[in-house]
Each structure stands twice: as C-alpha cells, then as structure tokens.
Amino acid sequence: MTNSTSQAEIVRQSLKRRYRKERRFRAYGITAIALAITALVVLFSDIISKGHTGFLKTTVTLEVTFDPEIMYLEDATDPAQIRNADYLAPLMAALKREFPEVSGRSGERALKGLLNSYSSSEVKDLVVANPAVMGTTQTLTFVASDDVDVFVKHRDDSSYSLKLTEEQQAWTLALMERGVIDTSFNDVFFTHGDSRDPGHAGVLGAIVGSLLTMAVTLLLSFPIGVAAAIYLEEFAPQNRLTDFIEVNINNLAAVPSIIFGLLGLAIFINLFGMPRSVPVVGGLVLMLMTLPTIIISSRAAIKSVPPSIREAAEGIGASKMQVVLHHVLPLAMPGMLTGSIIGMAQALGETAPLLLIGMVAFIVDVPDGFFSSATVLPVQIFLWAGSPELGFIERASAAIMVLLTFLISMNALAIWLRKRLERRW
C-alpha cells in the first residue's frame, strides 16, 4: 500500500493525544469508585463517631441517707405516707454534702441539674419495695442527667453545644475527680425499652419488636415464596395468567415500600380492623414486600439445577412433584435460603411502611407477643433521630450500629451459606 507509511505516521502522531484521553477516562473511573467508597467510609465513621459513646453511660454514685425528717415523713412505716414522701430531698442532701459551699435557691437548682429527673422516682420505687431502708444510708448509683452525660462525654469536642453552666461544669469535673461521677458500660441501653429520658432509653423493646415482626415475615414469606417459585418454574403452563403473574411479581419488586404501608393501612387495619402498631400487621406488610425478592431469587436457584437431574429422576418414573420435592428443592435450597436471608435483611432495615401502620408510637414496655404494641429497630432510630436531645442522637447512632451489626451478620451468614453449600455443576 503506497500511503500506508504516511498513515502509520498519522496514527503515531495521534497516539499522545489518545493516550491522554485514555488516562483521563481511567481517572474518571477510579474517581467514581473512590467517591463511592469515600461516601461509605464517611457514612460509617460518622455513625461510629456519633454513636460509640452511646454504649457508655454516665452515672452518679451518692451516699443517700433516708432521713424521714427531710422527706416530710411523719410515720416511716405508713405505706401511704411513704408513697407520697419527698424523694428528691435525700438526693439533694447527698449532693450538697459534696458541695457544702452551695446555698440559695438558684444554687440548689443548679445542683439539681446534675441529677436525672428519673432518679427520685427510682429512689421511691426502691423504698416502696423495701421500707426497711428508711433511716439508713445507702450507696446508690443513678444515671446522670442528659446534660451531664453530654458534658462528660464530649467536653473536648467543640461541635457539641453544652447545656451545663460553667458552675455546673466545674462541679461535674470535681465530682469526676472524686469518683462520684463515672462512666461505665451502658447496660441500660440493652435492657430497656424506650424512654423520655435518653439515659433510660434502650433498644431492647425495639429489638424484640423487630424479632417478632421478622418472625411473622419469615414464617409467611419463605414458604409462600418458595411455593410460588416452584409453581412458576416447574408447573406453570405457558399462558396469559402465568405471564400476568410474572409481570406482577417483577413490578411488585420495584414498587416503593411506602405503597405497601398504604396497603397495610387500608386493608389490614381499616378493612379487617386489625390493631395498629402490632408485629403481626407489620410482619404481614413486610411479608408482602419481601415476597417478590424471595420468589425471584428462589426461581433463579431452581433454574440453576441442571435438567439432567430432573430427567434422571423422571426416567425412573418419579412424578413431577416427586422430582421437585425430592431432587430439585434440596439442591436449590442453599440459593433459596441465601435469597431469603437477603430479603429478610431488607425487611429488617425497612421503615417507611411501618410508619403508616402505626408502629411509630412511643412504647416503653418490651412487647410480649405478636399482638402487643411494638416498634422496630429502624423506627426507633427514626424516632430518636428526630429528638432535640443530644443524648437521643447518640443513642440513635448506637442503635444504628446495633442494626448494622444485625444486617452485616445476616449478610455474612448468607455469604457463608452460599460458599458452604454452593454446588458447581
């Protein structure tokens, strides 16, 4: 070719420019991945930095003397009087012993700010349960007030606005040195339900609520999903009805979750008159929501079983149902389980539909059954995230960590299952 040398020359000259473009394109790709991973890292570190202190509680340990006199008790043996006694007084007395110099109404009010408003009722419960403590001195540990808690945990962090006055801050520091104020592992967080006070709020109620809801979801969606997948893969005739079912499943998988909440509200609650805020209704709604996911992944698992297995079983005279139940189902089970666990993880993190069916109520008690009012972990996070108190924000972050731990373990389980039981054909 006569001009091929000159063409080779043209190609050579264009190379520099083209490789610059190539490098730029690669850089875009790397930047995109870096951005995505940065977002992930920022998200996780933000949650952890906000929430790790939620696993600690600040406590105040006081020598409380139950002096009937300051408690306005005339007869320390009369249960009625004990019920109505002043329980703040002995606490304040104990605090004042730490700071004898404090006097006056404003000083006392400032001191009182160190105590949790729930402390006096805790003392009351103790005394009512055990009137013998009257007149004695007890060493009692209380959860500190939210403001003290924030100050103790975040006094070096300028991004937190501290509500304690400088005087109160000085007292708190002094009490910390004396060991009166201390931090320890926040067991309350794991043993209590919700509360109006961050120091007394915990995730146990929400976790139990989530478990009950998930139990309903799993018990219904796994068998139904697997059965539907078997029908569609193995038995469904090629007709319009089958096509329609498939179109429905594919579309339901992409319907916004909140629509399922509307469905739950209109059908389960308004039409059937089921109670609001209960795990059964939540579970039913989430079941409908996860069903498409489970059906789709189960179908994929059934599809991956090679036809030779089916033919082998049919060849020795097994009925279609026997082929499915004896051969296809056991072989497809790992895939089905994996898909279901992933579907359950989605359901566990779901919030929006549950808001509509009333699982957003303030519930202190740990739910004790499928029909008792409950909330779930993500909704609890939503509720706390909306409160103005810093203590609740911290607990919301801590609850997120608990939720993510559950989700990551479920996904790890799914991966492990897949690795463990996966069969290569």
Partner 1 sequence: MSTLNTSITTDTAQRETTTQDAVSMAKEKPAEAAIEYGKTVGTPFADDAKFCLRDVEVFYGDTQAIKGISLDIARNEVIAFIGPSGCGKSTFLRCLNRMNDSIDICRVKGRLELDGQDLYDPKRDVVELRARVGMVFQKPNPFPKSIYDNVAYGPRIHGLANRKSELDDIVEDSLRKAGLWNEVKDRLDAPATGMSGGQQQRLCIARTIAVSPEVVLMDEPCSALDPIATAKVEELIAELSQSYTIIIVTHSMQQAARVSHRTAYFHLGHLVEVNDTDKVFTAPEHELTESYITGRFG
Partner 2 sequence: MQPANLLPLIVVLVIIAFVLGYARSRALAAPLGGIKHLKSLPFYYAARAAMWCGLPALLVLACWLGFEGKVIQTLVVGSLPAELQPDSAGKASLVLSQITNVASGALSADFVPPAIVEASTRLTNLQQSSQLMMTLLVVCIAVLGGFLAWLRIAPHVNARVKFETTLRRIFFACAGLAILTTVGIVFSVIFETVRFFGKVPMTEFLFGTSWSPQTAIRADQVGSEGAFGMIPLFVGTLLISAIAMVVAVPVGLMSAIYLAEYASPRMRGIVKPLLEMLAGVPTVVYGFFAALTVAPFISGLAAALGLQASAESALAAGLVMGVMIIPFVSSLSDDVINAVPQSLRDGSLALGATQSETVKKVIFPAALPGIMGGILLAVSRAIGETMIVVMAAGLAANLTANPLDSVTTVTVQIVTLLVGDQEFDSAKTLAAFALGMLLFIVTLALNILALHVVRKYREQYD
The count of residues interacting with partner 2 (CB under 8 A) is 92
Per CB under 8 A, which of residues 6..45 are in contact with partner 1? Answer: 7-8, 10-12, 14-15, 18
Report 239-278 residues binding partner 2 (CB under 8 A): 244-245, 248-252, 254-263, 265-267, 270-275
Cα distances from 227 to residues 231, 249, 291, in angstroms, run 6, 14, 11
The smaller minimum CB distance to partner 1, of residues 14 and 84, is found at 14
Q: What is the DSSP string of 377-408?
A: HHHHHHHHHTSS-HHHHHHHHHHHHHHHHHHH
Q: Which of partner 2, partner 1, none does residue 10 bind to, with CB < 5 to 8 Å depending on kind?
A: partner 1
The helix/strand/coil state of 305 is: coil
Binding flag, residue 1, partner 1 (CB under 8 A): yes
If one asks whether residue 333 binds partner 2 (CB under 8 A), the answer comes out as no
Strands, DSSP E only, in 40-196?
56-65, 137-143, 181-185
By CB under 8 A, tell whether 425 contacts partner 1.
Answer: no
Q: Which of residues 117-146 bind partner 1 (CB under 8 A)?
A: none
Q: Which does 270 bind (CB under 5 to 8 A by kind): partner 1, partner 2, none?
A: partner 2
Burial class of residue 401 (count of CB atoms within 10 Å of its CB; 0-12, 13-18, 19+) = middle
Report which of 115, 123, 113 is spatially closest to residue 66, judged by C-alpha positions. 123
In the complex, least distance from residue 240 CB atom to partner 2, rounded to whole angstroms:
12
Instruction: Return the one option of partner 1, partner 2, none that residue 312 interacts with (CB less than 5 to 8 A, by type).
Output: none
User: Could you tell which of partner 2, partner 1, none binds residue 365, using a CB distance below 5 to 8 A set by kind?
Assistant: none
Q: Is 364 in the site for partner 2 (CB under 8 A)?
A: no
Q: Are 359 and 370 in contact (CB under 8 A)?
A: no
Told to check if 317 binds partner 2 by CB under 8 A, we report no
| CB neighbours of residue 423 within 10 Å | 11
> Considering the rule CB under 8 A, would residue 26 count as an interface residue with partner 2?
yes
Contact status, residue 135 vs residue 76, Cβ threshold 8 Å: yes
* Dihedral angle, C-alpha 386, 387, 391, 395, nearest 10 °: -30
Which of 206, 230, 323, 331 is close enough to bind partner 2 by CB under 8 A?
Answer: 230
SS3 state of residue 299: helix
Which is closer to partner 2, CB of 114 or CB of 348?
A: 348
244 binds, among partner 1, partner 2, none (CB under 5 to 8 A by kind): partner 2
Residue 8 interacting entry, from partner 1, partner 2, none, C-beta within 5 to 8 Å by type: partner 1
Contact flag: residue 266 with partner 1 (CB under 8 A): no
Residue whose pair of structure tokens reads 């105040």 in the numeric block: 60
Tokens 């790890």 belong to residue = 412
Q: Could you give the CA distance from residue 172 to residue 167 in angstroms, rounded to a whole number? A: 9
**Residue number, 8 or 170, with CB nearest to partner 1:** 8
The continuous run of DSSP H or E covering 248 comes out as helix 240-252
Structure letter (DSSP) for residue 275: P
Nearer to partner 2 by Cβ, of 172 and 373: the residue is 373
Among 93, 134, 355, 413, binds partner 2 (CB under 8 A): 355
- Which of 112, 418 has the CB closer to partner 2? 418
CB-wise, 295 or 331, nearer to partner 2?
295
Nearest distance, CB of residue 310 and partner 2, angstroms: 16
Task: Identify residues 43-82 at the interface with partner 2 (CB under 8 A).
Answer: 43, 46-47, 50
362 and 383 Cβ atoms separated by less than 8 Å = yes
365 secondary structure, DSSP code = S
CA–CA distance from 231 to each of 5, 290, 352, 376, 410 (Å)?
66, 18, 31, 33, 28
Q: Which residues of the shown chain bind partner 1 in the complex (CB under 8 A)?
A: 1, 3-4, 7-8, 10-12, 14-15, 18
